[in-house]
Amino acid sequence: MALVHSGRVVEASARVYRRTWRGSVISTFFNPVLYLLGMGVSLGRLVDEGTGSAALDIPYLTFLAPGLLAATAMMTGAGDASWPVMAGIKWRKTYDAILSTPVTVRELVMGHLAWVGVRLLFVTVVYSGVMTVFGATTVLEGALAIPPAILTGLGFAAIVTAYTARLKNELGLSSLFRFGVMPLFLFSGTFFPISQLPSWIQPIAYATPLYHGVSLCRGLALGVEFEVNPAVSVAYLVALLAVGTILAARLMRRRLIA
């Protein structure tokens, strides 16, 4: 019964998305192309012609693309767990309407995360295809990088859902992206190896969840050695998802039921 109720939440989200999907076309289809053109091809040519290629041992476009796959999943998961969740709680109050049915808070959270997973699957498949077109990876290796990218995005979605559930207003969401998500995007190994950072900040970067997602995606998409033991990275991201889901359910219950 719990799966059925969670499935109803997914169905409701899909029905809404059917009418609003045009607003996500740019972020889904064009952002990967623009990033890989601007950063991978244009900037990558300068890196490959300079000393940067010696440190990477591979073309910069090839190095960058899998990292951007994980980072895109992070941004998608965090985005779908921030303002849409705030809208459900505070502005549109759709969560109150859902909870007036037999759906429980836990089923609501599970359904919400399941829908985010559907969105992540769509986004990562598109991005994997773009990577392949740009010659950064093969079709098979690009497909292998999709599951860890989805896991990365779901881990962030769960944690951000929990964070959003405790907020009274949207100002905290702007701070989250400005001081949390964006620094992770820039300093978690997406654009350059962590070893290029100052020594004092490297342990912090190694401990970030996005770094583990980048390591998994890069290792699978390029067939190179993982920067971290893949079992450790998977366990880290699964733990992030589990803890985030539990916290999200508790905080959502406190916010909507208490």
Lowest mean pLDDT among 36-50, 124-138, 168-182, 211-225: 36-50
**pLDDT tens digits for range 34-53:** 777 776 565 656 566 665 54
pTM: 0.91
DSSP assignment of the chain equals -HHHHHHHHHHHHHHHHHHHGGGGHIIIIIHHHHHIIIIIIIIHHHHHHSSHHHHHSS-HHHHHHHHHHHHHHHHHHHHHTSHHHHIIIIIS-HHHHHHTTT--HHHHHHHHHHHHHHHHHHHHHHHHHHHHHTTSS-HHHHHHTHHHHHHHHHHHHHHHHHHHHT-SSTHHHHHHIIIIIHHHHHHSSSSS-GGGS-TTTHHHHHTSHHHHHHHHHHHHHHT---SS-HHHHHHHHHHHHHHHHHHHHHHHHHHHT-
Would the pLDDT of 236 be above 60?
A: yes
Average pLDDT rounded to a whole number, residues 101-121? 95
pLDDT at position 231? 96
More confidently predicted of 6 and 113: 113
Domain ranges of the chain: 2-12+29-190+197-256
- Average pLDDT over the chain reads 88
**pLDDT tens digits for range 173-204:** 999 999 999 999 989 988 888 888 888 888 99
Question: What is the band of 159 on the pLDDT scale with cuts at 50, 70, 90?
Answer: very high
Average pLDDT rounded to a whole number, residues 57-69? 86
